[in-house]
Structure 1
Amino acid sequence: MEQISPAQVAEWAKGQALRPVLLDVREGWEVQTASVQTEGLDLVHMPMQTIPARLDELDKSRPIACLCHHGGRSMQVASFLSQHGYQVANVSGGIHAWSMQVDPTIPVY
Structure 2
Amino acid sequence: MVRHIRPAQLAAWLQQCRTRAPDVEPLVLDVREPWEVQTASVRADGFELRHMPMASIPLRLAELPKQRPIACLCHHGGRSAQVAFFLHRQGYEDVVNIAGGIHAWATEIDPSVPQY
TM-score when scaled to structure 2? 0.92
The answer on whether the counterparts of 1:66 and 1:75 sit within 8 Å (CA) in structure 2 is: yes
What is the distance in 1 between the residues matched to 2:3 and 2:25?
18
For 1:12, the equivalent position in structure 2 comes to 13
Give unmatched runs, 5+ long, in structure 1.
none
Percent of aligned pairs with the same amino acid = 61
What is the distance in 2 between the residues matched to 1:28 and 1:41?
20
Number of aligned residue pairs: give it: 109
Structure 1 residue corresponding to 2:107, chosen from 76, 100, 105: 100
User: Counterpart amino acid of 1:3?
Assistant: H
For 2:59, the equivalent position in structure 1 comes to 53
What is the distance in 1 between the residues matched to 2:44 and 2:52?
16
The answer on whether the counterparts of 1:14 and 1:40 sit within 8 Å (CA) in structure 2 is: no
Describe the SS at the equivalent of 1:15. Answer: helix
TM-score when scaled to structure 1? 0.98
User: Counterpart amino acid of 1:57?
Assistant: E
The answer on whether the counterparts of 1:10 and 1:39 sit within 8 Å (CA) in structure 2 is: no
In the TM superposition, structure 1's runs of 4+ consecutive aligned residues that sit over 4 Å from their partners are none
What is the distance in 2 between the residues matched to 1:47 and 1:97?
19
What is the distance in 2 between the residues matched to 1:71 and 1:13?
18
Encode CA deviations 1:32-91: one digit per residue, 9 max, x unaligned: 000001211100000000000000000000000000000000000000000011120000
Give unmatched runs, 5+ long, in structure 2.
none
Aligned CA RMSD, in angstroms, stands at 0.6
Structure 2 residue corresponding to 1:38, chosen from 40, 44, 50: 44
